[in-house]
Amino acid sequence: MKPQFKIIASSVLIASTMMLTACSSSSPAATTVPTATATPIASVSPSPTSIPTSSPTIAPKPIAVTPAPATATDAANKQIKALFELAKKGLIPDVKFAAHIGLFDEVEEAWGKADKTEGAGKGIYATYSKRNVVIGFNKGMKIFDVRSNAANLQKLTLKQIENALGKPNNTTVNGDDTIYIYKVNDQYQLKFIIPKSTGKVDHISVYSPQDTINNMAG
């Protein structure tokens, strides 16, 4: 019985060994490491440029204010008052020789001989046609009257003169001409000579009555 038992035991042992070997051979040789799946990178789209919902406000440019042009009445008023201011000094526009102060010798030295010289009233009058000027002087060569018939003066009317200076102090008539006389001061008069035929100034005169006397007379 013992030998038979040994045979059986050996058989069982062999069978067990074979079974273990079979299990070992069926097991995987190595643990499979799962391959890492690449995570897709999300593409980054550029942020859209913000568009203003409304147009930018443009500051308005300052508007240059052009002064209104002076009316003809305003211009005449200014011109006539300027004549009156000059007359206070014995002067007319654009002439540096003053009544009561200047000598005709000085005029001839600066301007040369007159186009025409003639006696009139209480003195002698020299005409400078290109300058639109007539100079009155006495026998002592002292200037007592300076006259101008410049074109810009010949647009003036009596109404404009009276608007600027008021009513004249005196009025005289010489033929077709009416002479409107304004006393400027104790020395000078400002005269506007207006023909009836035109109703506008022919010439003006800044006059020094005191100097019509010949101071050189004996």
Instruction: State yes or no: pLDDT of 200 exceeds 80.
Output: yes
Q: What backbone phi and psi angles, to 5 degrees, belong to 32?
A: -75, 125
Q: For the chain, what's the residue count?
A: 218
Domain ranges within the chain, ordered by starting residue: 92-212
155: enclosing H helix or E strand: none
Question: 37, exposed or middle or buried, with CB in 10 Å at 0-12, 13-18, 19+?
Answer: exposed
**CB within 8 Å of 93: residues ≥ 6 apart:** 82, 83, 86, 148, 150
Q: Provide mean pLDDT across the span 165-173.
A: 98
- pLDDT digit string, tens, across residues 180-193: 999 999 999 999 99
Instruction: State yes or no: pLDDT of 5 exceeds 90.
Output: no
What band does 26 get if pLDDT is binned at 50, 70 and 90?
very low
DSSP-based three-state secondary structure for 207: strand
79, 70 Cβ separation under 8 angstroms: no
Instruction: State yes or no: pLDDT of 205 exceeds 90.
Output: yes
Q: What is the pLDDT of residue 14?
A: 55
Instruction: State yes or no: pLDDT of 18 exceeds 80.
Output: no
Instruction: State yes or no: pLDDT of 105 exceeds 50.
Output: yes
Around Cβ 139, how many Cβ atoms within 10 Å? 14
Higher per-residue pLDDT: 76 or 215: 76
Provide DSSP, 4-35.
HHHHHHHHHHHHHHHHHHHHHHHS-SSPPPPP
Q: What is the pLDDT of residue 120?
A: 82
H helix runs in 93-216, sequence order: 104-111, 158-165
Instruction: State yes or no: pLDDT of 152 exceeds 60.
Output: yes
Taking Cα atoms as reference points, which of 192, 109, 206 lies closest to residue 153? Answer: 192
What percentage of the chain carries pLDDT values higher than 90? Answer: 62
Instruction: State yes or no: pLDDT of 97 exceeds 70.
Output: yes
Domain 92-212: give its CATH architecture: 3-Layer(aba) Sandwich (3.40)
Higher per-residue pLDDT: 16 or 167: 167
What band does 87 get if pLDDT is binned at 50, 70 and 90?
very high
